[in-house]
Structure 1
Amino acid sequence: MSFLGRFTAIILTALSVGCGTMGHQKTWQDSVNNQVHQLGYRNWIVIAEASFPAHNRPGIRQVNADAEIPEVLDYVFNALEETQHVKPHVYLTREMRAVENDFAPGINELRKKIVGALHGHESTELDQQSLVTLMESANQNFDVLVIRTPTALPYTSVFLELQPGYWDAESEDRLRERIRRERMDRVTRPIP
């Protein structure tokens, strides 16, 4: 084989190997899509700022995203809305509201972007340690997905506790009340 023929064969092989591996690179979005569809009631998703601690417990999965919290949050909400089997209960850290822009430049703008990325969901504020404790407690029985972002502002992690998407708290309360009444009716029936 001539030099030109060998050179062409090497180039074609390199290109085919390079093109073949390019299609197999998994993005953070692919990981999130795959994992969100596996999660259900009582699972948690944390969209975490850069210093959020890595966990090595079974059941905690971590994805590294190359996007800031508002963009990742928006993406996660879109993915959850597609599943329809779960909906998030949103928790924000109480500390985030209290951090001043003078000490953490950019926090005011980030707070606005986070609220805008919530897709209209209301949020509950708890201190970060309480949220971490709730998440770790849930992890004893349920999976947690942590999506770590490069966002470098304190207390900006967003915690999502997944609830059934097709069953709400009011429906659950009515069901429990009906079951309680039926039990009471059985207990109080006279014996024939």
Structure 2
Amino acid sequence: MKIKLGNLFLIFSLCMLIGCKSSSRHLGDPVPKQDWYEAFSQKLPLLGHRNWVLVVDKAYPAPAGENMIVIDTEKPMAEVLGGVVGLINQQAHVSPIFYADKELQYLDENIAPGLKDYKASLDTLFNHIKPQPLIHEEVFRKMDQAASLFQVIVLKTESLIPYSSVFIELDCKYWDASREKILRERMANAKNN
């Protein structure tokens, strides 16, 4: 049976396409294109104390590591951040601790066009909360530590404003540091008796 060169090329191309489609996705690979809100809302109930959610600008580097899940939202920062905060606030099990790049405090509209509008959107969203400032490199150290043990969700936005990322550490909503301290004191007292 003779196969023409054109047909052979077509068969080879189809095999390559099928092979590429069937490759398995690793945990650290970007989530396939879908509605970011739906993807995040499905993952959030599985997250807990010590997990992180990063809402980052467009140039934030793609993280390495199998515990880092990247979702490309293709949406503006304010929209994604508003959705994330809304979803976290609906949860019974986790509460957010917010961090922002300290460098953002030293930028102005002259060197970062669009900054004024971005800061106004942050003020609206965080009307009674002030994100804790962290030097950008410190953020990376925290992420390295967290990702070695816990899952980190990275939501990439269309923001082109430098140092505009917001980092959210999830904490336990129904347990706090003061009650933990009481528990530890009771345990220490019981051990001494």
TM-score of the aligned structures, taking structure 2 as reference length:
0.79
Give the drift of 1:109.
Answer: 1.9
Residue ranges of structure 2 left out of the alignment (5+ in a row): 1-32
In the alignment, is the contact (CA less than 8 A) between 1:47 and 1:147 conserved in 2? yes
For the residue of structure 2 that corresponds to 1:90, the secondary structure is strand
The one-letter amino acid of 1:145's match is I
Note the 1:107-146 alignment, pairs <5 A. Answer: 107-118=115-126, 120-146=128-154
Of 82, 85, 97, the match for 2:93: 85
- Counterpart Cα distance in 2 of 1:118 and 1:97: 16
Q: CA deviation at 1:57?
A: 0.8
**1:178 partner amino acid:** R
1:66 positional shift: 2.2
Q: Is the aligned partner of 1:99 residue 2:140?
A: no
Q: Supply the AA of the counterpart residue of 1:128.
A: H
Indicate the RMSD between aligned Cα atoms, in angstroms. 1.5
1:48 aligns with 2:60: no
Q: Distance in 1 between matches of 2:167 and 2:121?
A: 16
Unaligned ranges ≥5, structure 1? 1-24, 187-192
Q: 2:182, 2:160 → 1: CA distance?
A: 44
Structure number, greater radius of gyration:
1
Q: Deviations over 1:41-88 (max 9, x none)?
A: 100000000000001310100111122222111101111122220011
Identity %: 27
Match of 1:30 in 2: 38
Q: Secondary structure at the match of 1:45?
A: strand
